[in-house]
Amino acid sequence: MKDVRIGIVLFLLLFMSEISAQKFELGKVSLEELQEKLHPIDSSAAAAIVYKAGKTIFKYDYEKGFYALHECQIRIKIYKKEGLSWANFEVPYYVGYESMSDDVVKFSNAVTYNLEGTEIVKTKLNSEGSFKKNVNEYWNEASITMPNVKVGSVIEFKYILKSENVVTFPAFNMQYSIPVNYCEYKTEIPEFYIYKPVATGFVKVNTEQKYEDAFQGYDNQYRNSSTLKYKQISSIHTAESIPALKEENYIDNVRNYTSSIKYELERTRFPDQKVKDYSITWEGVAKTIFDNKDFGQALDADIDLVTDLRFILEAQHKTDLSQLEKLDVIFKFVQQKMNWNNHYGYYVDKGIKKAYVEKTGNTAEINFILIRMLKLAGISVNPVLLSTIEHGVPVFPNRTIFNYVIAGVEIDGKQILLDATNKQTTPNVMPLNTLNRFGRLIRKDGTSEEVNLMPKTTLNENTVLYVSVDEHGKIAGKCRIQKSDYPAFSFRENNKGFNKESYLEKLENSLNGIQISDYKIENVANLDKPIIESFTFVTGNHCEIIGGKMFINPKLFFTNSRNPFVKEERQMPIYFGYPKQKKYQITINIPEGYLVESVPKPIKIATGENVGLFIFNILPEGKIIQISFTEEINASLVSSDFYEVLKDFFQQMIDKQNEKIVLIKV
């Protein structure tokens, strides 16, 4: 159940039938649409996509060959002021090709419709509402801001993306954070191209396909009109009444579960030419990436690292360093020397030689330098491609899904993952957004293997409390919290430029208003050791006196009172990030004049599949009560099939934490 790969449904069965769909036309907005006050199915919706119709067709140019036109028509209804943001729409397009023309995006037919009395008033988009901006070296963005949009408006527009890149189509999303009434995506693909259409998400998509004759005119080399005849595969994917996709607790990236369709080229088969495979296998993906000059050649770039390597190893004043010791020294050197420019990617930008001199680079440049230096030290290492959480899940063979590269080391049969772009990482402790299920270790010879990115061991956070309760119900004591590995990494990441005053204010608020003094923290800068926090505290909020009795939460200010899982059902998997164990050891000294009347009963709760474990023990002995809590989640990702079990598990933990220790006055 844990580390479950969420299924991505392939269109394995395509129905041979006539293509038919609902008929929508731009410019045909009805009075009923404008009068509608609420979405008929989801009354909470701030807006809704009335329809979205996409189409991808191929055009032929004698000199350049086939290119793709991706057309999209969208109509949106605004119900509430929160939906006004849908007046803004962006389309990214690629401009970083080496041998192809830049993509081009053009908007048209952009109109806002409003109802004034019984009259439908149109406001057309002018040039002032259309924008283009540069995102980075490879991407631009075309956007529009629709005019005169208000609650009740209907807006519609069309755009066409022209691209000579026919290897991958832009993802066609069928689901958004608002409902979609109807959505369709048509493709007309010449028989020379074989694509893998992939659907993601949980929405039922109907697919129809037919094989038919096609032709188009073009100008030949003599600028005379010619006709190209061929067979084509025409497909249509449709869906209706698509619910809004909403954020939930414990989710990695909600967009991973957005219903969408994406085409990736598997092979081409032109007449009188050999069949050419693109990304049908991981080996093909690995070879294609390594053959790129900004990857394979960049790894082998002419750069002198020997001098620095010799210097840092000799500085250890030890001639027989083990491979693990060499790894540690080299990793820390590159991590501290290099500064990440916040650019992702598995291709270099300026190259590792220039990046090394300037001490700044993107993800690939920094980790390629690390890989080169480790190889020079005789350590077995290869690049590992991955996709960050916000970028998507690389489940099927696919080049374009990756956006990050790290180093994968093998020492004594054990794999160690390294990322030197972040100043807080340690071996096998990487940035949290890289813990995205599986990566791909690739080698120069084209072989590759899957790499599990999720931590394999349960990571600990231990809290020790020693407290005394006085006769007025005031609680005072000392607290010590120890975090290692990922809990320590998260602390360091969340508290960069540590400001004690502001941190303590947040900590006091998060612990239900306790008052903290004598705060100390150890090992913030020493990544090899755990973070240790210690402080004294007082609080009057965690003990009630009623009728001469005291009522105390056994977990004090660490008590949880709300279940994070409240929905009746859940479609998306539950993401915990990494396996974790939290332990609390609590000693309570009760006040003079009081005795223990009752304490909650010890309990042990375990889910199936070893996903969750909760143990509560309590032992009153005279004036002292010894309490222990153990809370474990032994999975990084859990299937939604397990949701009811987890919901009940969390509720039982919360219920037990909120039972009271009862002291009686004598």
Q: Which CATH class is domain 11-275?
A: mainly beta
Residue-level pLDDT at 197: 87
pLDDT bin (cut points 50, 70, 90) of residue 12 is very low
Residue-level pLDDT at 10: 33
pLDDT digits (tens, 9 = 90+) for 146-172: 999 999 999 999 999 999 999 889 999
Task: Select from 483, 593, 477 the least CA-distant residue to 539.
Answer: 477
Domain locations along the chain: 11-275, 284-452, 459-665
Helices and strands in the chain: count of H runs, count of E runs: 10, 38
Residue 19 has pLDDT above 70, yes or no: no
> Cα–chain-centroid distance for residue 594?
53
Residues 29, 23: Cα–Cα separation, whole Å:
13
Burial degree of 247 (CB within 10 A; 0-12, 13-18, 19+): exposed
Residues 437, 424: Cα–Cα separation, whole Å:
21
The structural architecture, per CATH, of the domain 284-452 is Roll (3.10)
pLDDT digits (tens, 9 = 90+) for 496-546: 888 899 999 999 999 999 999 999 999 999 999 999 999 999 999 889 999
pLDDT digits (tens, 9 = 90+) for 281-300: 788 778 888 888 899 999 98
73 backbone φψ class: left, alpha, beta (φ>0; ψ -120 to 50): beta
Buried b (16+ CB within 10 A) or exposed e, 589-607: bbbeebebeebbeeeebeb
Least confident interval from 189-193, 443-447, 514-518, 557-561: 443-447
Q: One fold for both 11-275 and 284-452?
A: no
Buried b (16+ CB within 10 A) or exposed e, 32-69: ebbebeebeeeeebbbbbbbbbbbbbbebeeeeebbbe
Residue 87 has pLDDT above 50, yes or no: yes
Question: Across all residues in the chain, what is the average pLDDT?
Answer: 91
Residue-level pLDDT at 46: 97
pLDDT digits (tens, 9 = 90+) for 309-321: 999 999 998 889 9
pLDDT bin (cut points 50, 70, 90) of residue 280 is low
Q: Which CATH number fits domain 459-665: 2.60.40.10, 1.10.3720.10, 1.25.40.80, 2.60.120.1130?
A: 2.60.120.1130
Q: What percent of the chain has pLDDT over 90?
A: 73
Residue-level pLDDT at 279: 59
What single string gives the DSSP state of each residue in 258-272?
A: S-EEEEEEEEE--TT
Residue 7 has pLDDT above 60, yes or no: no
